[in-house]
């Protein structure tokens, strides 16, 4: 089987870019990744993006990258899978190399959200629910969904709002070390717990923000020190009412099992982890689904500090979606950006000797989950 | 190299579906294709779509297909490349099989446009231009762009509005035989030439319509009588001001050359053709770019009847975008639907003994062109 390697990574600062366009951010991250890879000949481009059509009247992002970077008449496409768009674009790049059609692929992700009013963004994001379902029209939102999961988790396990706050605090503390992260202001457990409520029981710090930003990766079949050991993507239930168990997001578990199986490794082999913490609750569920901690006990691992950068299973050393920020289409690739730096020994919050890394990127209420395992070779 | 075959096709009636949702159309075509393929186990889904996010607040189409058709926890994604979204989705399906990751893939395309006001659709479609360019803000639209090409073509070649009308009339006459086509009312050259102007020199019949509809294809590595002989995709200039020659849409020519080279065939080997006639002018340019007729002489081939279903190079026997209709994300796959029926001998406007077929799907002002060559084996 053809192997795939990472040759370069690029990322803009995440945050508010009022004076820059979507295209400007996308090209910036892409140029950085190409520069980092030594300006290779690029055979194809995949762009991960969710909202540019509805919020910026801008599609054809694949063609724009090829055209504006002078890459020639090459195949390009945009790939969408809600908040997993970046991870899915990465997978299409890997499949393109495995197919034998491409030697080197640029994968970029971008989102611009901060120019719009919050209700308009919320409405646009609801495109990640099934419009034909009654729950969307009944008023369900993504904070609402993850709030329900938190309530259920508290009820079943004895966890509390304080455990959610510990996730948010950890990720904020990680972000303080990451110059590209959106939030760089220190905070406290008290401030997090006392922050205004978004949806019971999730407060402001439990919810990922609106963010402008872009990230990009150059992949090649040519060996490099960073090997993509496995790629897995699954789709899961698209409606909350299809959930058999509110303590589980089955797509995460399925994508993890497939990724481990293909890689021939298990959770015990992973040194550093980026997880899709769209809400603090999601991080707790994901570390359980991915087998890092037993079901119903993720909150204890948080409490015991195991997921800190200095812990035995460092999670979201970048600051995660909660504090690095969540420019939707870029998120999955910003996870890879962080992990590649971890494996090269050049990361914010460097984990000493990190050799194998896992990224998990979620879409919708579990409609998509992509897992990629990288290793230093 | 792994070969890819078509195992099933499905398509809804194209037209106005006021009483059906986007999802309903998408699942209908998908079910038909799966039924036609003998209900195989599906390993992945790719959906081609352009406007569902902005016009129907509906993304996650890949996950919706997998979930609602009970396909299990499989990889899915939506793929976008403006009006070439369907052709690009098809290519991702082929790459997925070539990669060794998937044995059987469902590729579906859908669009729903008729529920919206024309100015809103025009605005949404303009997402296929570069929002950072001055020409978009100066008021350029797609009819405007192709109108300029027609003016220039008339000036350089001596062609007239009557030649455009001949394209529109041929495609309407073909559509009369196709029960799934949007327009089934006979017309005349006089009516077409006398119709209200959309943008000088393009009249109503020279422009593809707004359409609701869906189409789907099942691909597999397992042999079938319909072999995908080659797949080519290129990106080209994203702005009109980048055009070096207004008689050319270079992405079409480049995609054609790549497809012929990979297939080891030339235009002389192709028996039946579906081309992206978003405007009547586009069909004339495309038959030249793809080498079926010399540059600047496509209009003569039209005049001489060579592109009729009974001619030596039958083009758009389905009715084309102009009369079959143009539900954007579905268009590239509806071309394949028609060509597969041609190769099986079961098409509307059957071309006797058709053995090799070519589909060309365009995005934007030439930002994307996908070409697929199919053969009966």
Note whether ipTM > 0.90 here: yes
What percent of chain A lies above the pLDDT cut of 90?
Answer: 98
Mean pLDDT value of segment B1-10: 94
In tens, the pLDDT along B59-97 reads 999 999 999 999 999 999 999 999 999 999 999 999 999
Among B63, B120, B329, B370, most A C-beta atoms within 10 A, so best to mutate, is B63
The answer to whether residues B340 and B6 touch, using CB atoms and an 8 Å cutoff, is: yes
Q: CA-to-CA distance for B333 and B350, rounded, in angstroms?
A: 18
**DSSP 8-state symbol, B267:** G
Going by C-alpha positions, the residue among A273, A264, A319 that lies closest to residue A298 is A273
The answer to whether residues A236 and B76 touch, using CB atoms and an 8 Å cutoff, is: no
CATH class of the domain comprising B4-116+211-220: alpha beta
The answer to whether residues A44 and B118 touch, using CB atoms and an 8 Å cutoff, is: no
Instruction: Compute φ and ψ for B357, nearest 5 degrees.
Output: -135, 150
Mean pLDDT value of segment A273-297: 98
Q: CA-to-CA distance for B149 and B246, rounded, in angstroms?
A: 6
Nearest CA distance, A318 vs chain B (angstrom)? 27
Query: Tokens 């099986």 map to which residue?
Result: B344
Going by C-alpha positions, the residue among A289, A310, A313, A309 that lies closest to residue A301 is A313
Would you say residue A248 has pLDDT above 90?
yes
Stated as kind and residue range, the H or E segment containing A121 is helix A118-125
Report the pLDDT value the prediction gives residue B313, as an integer from 0 to 100. Answer: 98
Give the confidence band of B2 by pLDDT, cuts at 50, 70, 90: confident
Q: Which two tokens stand for residue A36?
A: 């980092």
**Under DSSP, is residue B48 helix (H, G, I), strand (E, B) or coil?**
strand
Would you say residue A313 has pLDDT above 80?
yes
**What's the whole-number average pLDDT of chain A?**
97
Mean pLDDT value of segment A310-317: 98
β-bridge mates for residue A203, sequence order: A197
Stated as kind and residue range, the H or E segment containing A257 is helix A250-263
The answer to whether residues B270 and B357 touch, using CB atoms and an 8 Å cutoff, is: yes
Mean pLDDT value of segment A1-14: 95
Q: Which two tokens stand for residue B53?
A: 């996010």
Among B77, B132, B249, B362, most A C-beta atoms within 10 A, so best to mutate, is B77
Axis crossing angle, helix A85-98 with helix A328-344, rounded to the nearest 10: 60
Active site annotation includes B372: no
Beta strands in chain B (DSSP E): 4-11, 44-48, 76-80, 104-111, 197-199, 202-203, 213-220, 226-235, 272-274, 356-363, 368-376
Report the pLDDT value the prediction gives residue B230, as an integer from 0 to 100. Answer: 98
Report the pLDDT value the prediction gives residue A125, as an integer from 0 to 100. Answer: 97
Would you say residue A1 has pLDDT above 80?
no
The answer to whether residues A27 and A69 touch, using CB atoms and an 8 Å cutoff, is: yes
Q: CA-to-CA distance for A55 and A126, rounded, in angstroms?
A: 13
Q: Judge: A67–B367 Cβ closer than 8 Å, yes or no.
A: yes
**Under DSSP, is residue B97 helix (H, G, I), strand (E, B) or coil?**
helix
- In chain B, where are the structural domains located? 4-116+211-220
Mean pLDDT value of segment A14-35: 98
**Under DSSP, is residue A112 helix (H, G, I), strand (E, B) or coil?**
coil
Q: CA-to-CA distance for B152 and A241, rounded, in angstroms?
A: 57
In tens, the pLDDT along B167-184 reads 999 999 999 999 999 999
β-bridge mates for residue B83, sequence order: B81
Give the confidence band of A2 by pLDDT, cuts at 50, 70, 90: confident
Q: CA-to-CA distance for B217 and B232, rounded, in angstroms?
A: 17
Q: Which of A7, A227, A326, A372 is catalytic?
A: A326
Taking contacts as CB-CB distances below 8 angstroms, the residues of chain B near A96 are: 95, 99
Instruction: Compute φ and ψ for B162, nearest 5 degrees.
Output: -65, -35
């Amino acid at each position: 089987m053809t192997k795939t390697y990472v040759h370069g990574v690029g990322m803009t600062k995440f945050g508010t870019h009022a004076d820059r366009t979507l295209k400007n951010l996308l090209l910036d991250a892409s140029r950085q990744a190409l520069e980092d890879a030594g300006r290779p000949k690029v055979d194809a481009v995949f762009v991960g993006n969710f909202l540019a059509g509805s919020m910026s009247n801008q599609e054809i992002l694949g063609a724009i990258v090829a055209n504006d970077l002078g890459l020639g008449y090459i195949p390009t496409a945009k790939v969408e899978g809600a908040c997993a768009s970046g991870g899915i674009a990465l997978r299409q790049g890997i499949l393109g190399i495995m197919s034998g059609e491409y030697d080197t692929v640029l994968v970029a992700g971008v989102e611009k959200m901060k120019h719009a009013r919050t209700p308009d963004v919320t409405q646009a994001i609801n495109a990640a629910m099934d419009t034909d379902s009654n729950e969307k029209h009944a008023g369900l939102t993504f904070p609402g969904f993850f709030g329900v999961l938190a309530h259920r988790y508290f009820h079943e396990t004895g966890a509390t709002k304080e455990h959610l706050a510990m996730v948010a605090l950890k990720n904020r503390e990680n972000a303080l070390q990451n110059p590209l992260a959106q939030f760089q202001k220190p905070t406290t457990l008290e401030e997090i717990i006392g922050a205004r409520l978004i949806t019971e029981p999730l407060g402001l710090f439990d919810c990922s923000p609106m963010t402008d930003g872009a990230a990009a990766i150059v992949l090649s079949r040519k060996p490099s020190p960073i090997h993509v050991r496995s790629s897995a993507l699954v789709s899961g239930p698209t409606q909350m009412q299809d959930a058999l168990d509110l303590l589980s997001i089955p797509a995460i578990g399925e994508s993890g099992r497939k990724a481990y199986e293909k890689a021939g490794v298990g959770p015990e082999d992973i040194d550093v982890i980026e997880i899709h913490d769209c809400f603090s609750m999601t991080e707790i569920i994901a570390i359980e689904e991915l087998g890092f901690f037993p079901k119903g006990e993720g909150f204890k691992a948080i409490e015991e500090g195991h997921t800190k950068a200095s812990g035995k299973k460092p999670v979201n050393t970048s600051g995660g979606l909660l504090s690095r920020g969540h420019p939707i289409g870029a998120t999955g690739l910003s996870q890879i950006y962080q992990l590649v730096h971890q494996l090269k020994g050049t990361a914010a919050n460097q984990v000493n000797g990190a050799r194998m890394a896992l990224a998990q990127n979620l879409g919708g209420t579990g409609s998509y989950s992509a897992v990629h395992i990288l290793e230093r070779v």
